[in-house]
Amino acid sequence: MRHRRLFLAILSVLLLTASVVAADNTLTRRSAIGGDQRLVSPGDIFQLGLFPAVNNKWFLGIWFTVNPAAVIWVANRDRPLNASSSGFLALSGQGDLVLLDAASNNETVWSSNSSSSAATAAVAQLDDSGNLVLADDAGAVLWQSFEHPTNTFVPEMRIGESIETGAVWSLSSWRGADDPSAGDFRFVMDTRGSPEFHAWRKGRKTYRTGPWNGVRFSGIPEMGTYKGMFEFQFTDTADEVSYMYHAYAGSPPSRVFLDESGVIHRMVWDRALGAWNVFWSGPRDQCDSYGACGAFGVCSVVDALMCGCISGFRPRSPAEWRMRNPSGGCVRSTPLQCEGGGADGFYTLRGVKLPETHGSSVDNGASLEECGRRCLLNCSCTAYAASDIRGGGSGCIQWFGELMDTRFLNGGQDLFVRLATSDLG
């Protein structure tokens, strides 16, 4: 305890004397920041410091210099400070980044929990990417904010899952527009099948992007228009499944964030207007609401009736559909003939966001023709599609059981739905 009190006393002195830290990007064992002091990335793209929020609570965060309201990361989102003057960030004697509250006997409000017996942090730096990196004397990274996202991700940051370590990099919404505490929505990579992102609210799925198809996510054709500004990187290996994007040199600041109502936005800073332009948001309409038309239903925003059944299927409950309640979905008009020795075929449903891939089977090395042949040989297979749309389509996704959350979409993909031959017309 004596050493801890001495350490904290030294930090208190440093807060009064180390104002130069406000113009630097580095925090060492001999420095600390608090009050209105800042860490500033080398190119003055990002800043780290304390900022106020709802009910005059204070949080440690990182934000864009051009727009301080655009906070990309928050440390103590569920343990706010009551006053900015009481909080300060420093390196502890054990090598952790710590946010201490002087008004509460220097209580640790937040810690990176990065220390180990093998290494002690020597420096923390805020990079021009917006990443706060904690490193040891040899330069090895012990902890970084990019590994702990809040509601936003930016270029060079990944979201997804490490299969090797079990680490999950997901987004969690704020409680409110001015309240950084954890909200109701999460944006998470589902890796059980062809990987895709799902948005959740209190255990209920609200939206999904569709699977990655080699170019973009199936349900976001707008991604194809960003070629001059961003490069996308999708990793799907035995060790990791993740998505990130790179900004080309000279591109303006950009971010993707999950707002407090569960909507994902891709935004780019307009330097001339001094404001954010929304390039895309999702869910974009009623058809992006998860499962709007039930199993084997297909959604269309241009039709008078939003929901219809895939060809070869009929409403499970016609009475409910007449009352504009299609959530019960559709059933087959004619049973498949596979087990009876008859012939089945495929109906091509064109221009859709592919159905939910949770539980699907993926073989990226198979041809599309081989994919169809395999599906016919498996009586449980209900549909297939290309896993990669480049070069006319290759790879294989197979669905088993119900097809859920399918919608028509400009720039959508082809889905091959298995039907009894008599329903193929």
Q: Give the per-residue pLDDT at 14.
A: 38
Q: Give the domain CATH number at 279.
A: 2.90.10
Please check whether residue 393 is in contact with residue 305, taking contact to mean a CB–CB distance below 8 angstroms: no
Q: Which residues contact 338 (CB under 8 A, 6 or more apart)?
A: 344, 376, 379
Nearest to 80 by CA among 50, 114, 111, 106: 50
Same domain, 175 and 128: no
Which neighbouring-strand residues pair with 257?
152, 265
Q: Is residue 120 part of a domain?
A: yes
Neighbour count for residue 310 (Cβ, 10 Å): 22
Residue-range definition of the domain harbouring residue 275: 149-284
Q: Give the per-residue pLDDT at 228.
A: 83
The position carrying tokens 């420096």 is 123
Same domain, 86 and 68: yes
Same domain, 247 and 298: no
Same domain, 38 and 65: yes
Compute the distance between CA of residue 251 and CA of residue 249 in angstroms, rounded to an integer: 6
Same domain, 268 and 153: yes
Could you tell me the sign of the dihedral formed by the alpha carbons of 405, 408, 414, 420, in that order? Answer: positive
Same domain, 235 and 349: no
Q: Give the domain CATH number at 121.
A: 2.90.10.10
Give the pair of three-digit tokens for residue 167: 């680490």
Give the pair of three-digit tokens for residue 343: 């012939």
Q: Give the per-residue pLDDT at 116.
A: 59
CA distances from 187 to 157, 240, 334, 400 (A): 15, 17, 38, 25
Query: Cα 360 vs. chain centroid, distance in angstroms?
Result: 21
Q: Give the per-residue pLDDT at 148.
A: 97
Give the pair of three-digit tokens for residue 85: 């003057």
In the listed set 284, 303, 337, which residue is the last one of a domain according to the structure? 284
**Rounded to 10 degrees, what is the CA torsion of 323, 325, 328, 329?**
100
Strand order in the sheet with 32-34: 32-34, 87-91, 97-101, 107-111
The SS3 call for residue 191 is coil
Same domain, 163 and 179: yes
Q: How many domains are contained in the chain?
A: 3
Q: Give the per-residue pLDDT at 9.
A: 42
**Is it true that the peptide bond before 283 is cis, omega within 30 degrees of 0?**
yes
Compute the distance between CA of residue 417 and CA of residue 408 in angstroms, rounded to an integer: 14
Count how many Cα atoms sit within 13 Å of the Cα of residue 28 in the half-sphere of its side chain.
6
Q: Give the per-residue pLDDT at 264.
A: 97
Could you tell me the sign of the dihedral formed by the alpha carbons of 327, 261, 280, 234, in that order? Answer: negative
Q: Is residue 289 part of a domain?
A: no
In the listed set 284, 313, 347, which residue is the last one of a domain according to the structure? 284
Q: Is residue 334 part of a domain?
A: yes
Same domain, 180 and 54: no
Same domain, 307 and 402: yes
Stretches in the chain below the pLDDT threshold 50: 1-22, 117
Q: What would the 3-class secondary structure string for 297-365 be? A: EEECCCCCCCEEECCCEEECCHHHHHCCCCCCCEEECCCCCHHHCCCEEEEEEEEEECCCCECCEEECC
DSSP notation for 236-269: ESSSEEEEEEEEPTTPPPEEEEE-TTS-EEEEEE
Please check whether residue 64 is in contact with residue 73, taking contact to mean a CB–CB distance below 8 angstroms: no
Same domain, 11 and 119: yes
Same domain, 268 and 210: yes
In the listed set 110, 144, 178, which residue is the last one of a domain according to the structure? 144
Same domain, 107 and 158: no
Q: Is residue 76 part of a domain?
A: yes
